[in-house]
């Protein structure tokens, strides 16, 4: 529990720092947009030592350490195919003129981890602002929309900061652990 709280606190602090540092930058240039789906999509293939099973086990261990409710997040855990897939969410905040953080809601996203011999691929996409109906966050990128709100740029920055932190944590979690010999 304490580890989870430390991670959440770190993510929030990184978000505030990144938002301050990135103010004024165009949010559309920050997030990766998939050319086929036109959705914000973070996707990469990384090499790692291990078999499909080794990488799958590391992926499950990472999911279990990163999310407070890992079984609620993951919808697919297919060890034979090396696939872990689920839906998670995180909070975003409105920062007022006096730099106070006010809860602005939740963003849900899908995460998929696919393992193969010596490599794995993560895909993080389908970001939606949770409301009574689906609200794809890609709408926040349209500065010409009649309902455009400048606060949306800040929300996109928070999304980007959170996702980059998640990816860094995942990458560290997928590294093969050095086994120490039990010498006694």
Say how many domains are in the chain: 1
Domain CATH number, residue 164: 3.30.530.80
Is the pLDDT confidence value at 11 over 70?
no
Is the pLDDT confidence value at 119 over 50?
yes
Domain contains 144: yes
Domain contains 182: no
Is the pLDDT confidence value at 10 over 70?
no
- Structure token pair of residue 103: 């809860």
The whole domain housing 146 covers: 2-173
Domain contains 183: no
| Ordered DSSP codes for 18-85 | HHHHHTTS-GGGTS-B-TTT-SB-EEEEEE-SS-HHHHHHHHHHHHHHH-SSHHHHEEEEETTTTEEE
- Give the tens place of pLDDT for each residue, 23-79: 444 555 799 999 999 999 999 999 999 999 999 999 999 999 999 999 999 999 999
Domain contains 112: yes
Q: Is 135 exposed, middle or buried (0-12, 13-18, 19+ CB in 10 A)?
A: middle
Domain contains 47: yes
């Amino acid at each position: 529990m304490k580890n989870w709280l430390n991670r959440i606190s770190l993510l929030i602090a990184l978000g505030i720092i990144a938002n301050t540092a990135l103010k004024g930058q165009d949010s559309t240039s920050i997030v990766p947009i998939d050319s086929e789906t036109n959705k914000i999509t973070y996707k990469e293939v990384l090499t790692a030592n291990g078999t499909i099973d080794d990488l799958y086990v590391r992926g499950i261990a990472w999911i279990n350490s990163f999310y407070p409710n890992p079984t609620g997040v993951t919808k697919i855990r297919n060890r034979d195919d090396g696939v872990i897939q689920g839906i998670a969410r995180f909070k975003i905040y409105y920062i007022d003129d006096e730099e106070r953080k006010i809860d602005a809601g939740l963003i849900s996203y899908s995460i998929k981890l696919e393992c193969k011999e010596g490599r794995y691929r993560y895909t993080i996409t389908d970001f939606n602002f949770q409301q009574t109906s689906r609200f794809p966050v890609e709408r926040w990128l349209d500065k010409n929309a009649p309902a455009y709100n400048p606060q949306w740029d800040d929300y996109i920055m928070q999304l980007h900061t959170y996702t980059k932190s998640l990816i860094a944590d995942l990458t560290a979690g997928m590294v093969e652990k050095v086994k120490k010999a039990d010498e006694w």
